[in-house]
Amino acid sequence: MTRRQKAVAFFVALCVLLVAATVSLNIGWILITGAGQIAALVLGIVLFGLIIAGLIIYTVFLVMEIRRNEEHDTFINSVTHELKTPIASLRLYLETLQSRTVSEEQRRHFYDIMLADAERLHDTVNQVLKAGAVREKRRASAARGPVDVAALSRESVALALLRHHLSPSAIALEIHDEATFVVRGDAEELRTGIANLLDNAVKYSGQSVKVTVSVAAPAPGTIWVRVQDQGVGIPKKQLKRIFNRFYRVQTRAVKQVKGTGLGLYIVRAIARAHGGRVFAQSEGEGRGATFTLELPRLVSP
């Protein structure tokens, strides 16, 4: 049990003890006062109810604040790791290139690694900036127009394969029907949303990555982009919380997976900004997860 979990348990236990003590005192006061003094009895019961409510509200807010601080600390530690690791790698390869002569093949290999590290840094900073923009509800509505979700999904799959150095068979793309899948929105934001779902699926797939991306229209006015993996899965109790800012699944299998806890939060914000939603399904730990991005379809008049 961590220090904050002990603190939460302490304050919950303290609240229970205080409520029990208050109930005991109130019952004792009623027995001593007697039922004859109705006005005093009613006043005492009202004050008793207010004290109980105050104790419960205080404890709830205190526990929420402790958990919020824990999430913030986790976020800071994760971002620090995500920044320090590629910076350390870049510094090591630059010092190697500066201190000794290497072959052209090694030089090109070093450049590839440094470029990948730079891309990782860019992605981390972009995630934080994107979350900040979403938090402040900045919307570039003028930039919105028709977006082909099927074409966007193809681009996102190709980028994910390249970014994570995967074989083409690792991510399967299924586009159902022959109809067009067009929505009105910001192409860059939607690309970010689909990319975040793919990155999430790859990261939590473990050693064997097998992801399926499906684009379909379950209803005339709706488009689905569904990303399914066969990874570590999600406990059912945490399915609704995973879209909260800074929240990360609390299981042993994902402790080694690094991240900022912002990816799914950004996806939810993008979905809502486009009049849609995103939801997750999982049968539990070790049984994979499915994320569905639902968007309103642009129907031609």
- For residues 193 and 219, the answer to whether their CB atoms sit within 8 Å is no
- For residues 252 and 232, the answer to whether their CB atoms sit within 8 Å is no
Q: In this predicted model, what pLDDT tens digit does every residue of 101-143 receive, in sequence order? A: 888 888 888 888 888 778 778 777 777 766 666 655 554 444 6
Q: What is the homologous superfamily of the domain 143-296 according to CATH?
A: Histidine kinase-like ATPase, C-terminal domain (3.30.565.10)
The encoded tokens of residue 144 equal 């919105």
Judge if pTM exceeds 0.75.
no
Q: Which pLDDT belongs to residue 142? A: 46
215 vs 39, more confident: 215
Q: In this predicted model, what pLDDT tens digit does every residue of 226-263 receive, in sequence order? A: 999 988 888 888 887 888 877 776 655 555 566 667 78
Phi, psi of 185 (to 5 degrees): 180, -170
The separation between the first and the last C-alpha atoms of the chain, rounded to the nearest angstrom, is 59
> What's CA 256's distance to the chain center, in Å?
16
| DSSP-derived pairing of the beta strands 222-229 and 182-185 | unpaired
Using 50, 70 and 90 to split pLDDT, how confident is the model at 295?
very high
| DSSP-derived pairing of the beta strands 277-281 and 211-219 | unpaired
pLDDT of residue 50 exceeding 90, the answer is: no
* Distance between CA atoms of residues 296 and 240, nearest Å: 22
pLDDT of residue 201 exceeding 80, the answer is: yes
* Distance between CA atoms of residues 266 and 247, nearest Å: 12
Q: Which pLDDT belongs to residue 226? A: 93
* Distance between CA atoms of residues 263 and 13, nearest Å: 35
Mean pLDDT for 199-208 is 83
Using 50, 70 and 90 to split pLDDT, how confident is the model at 4?
low
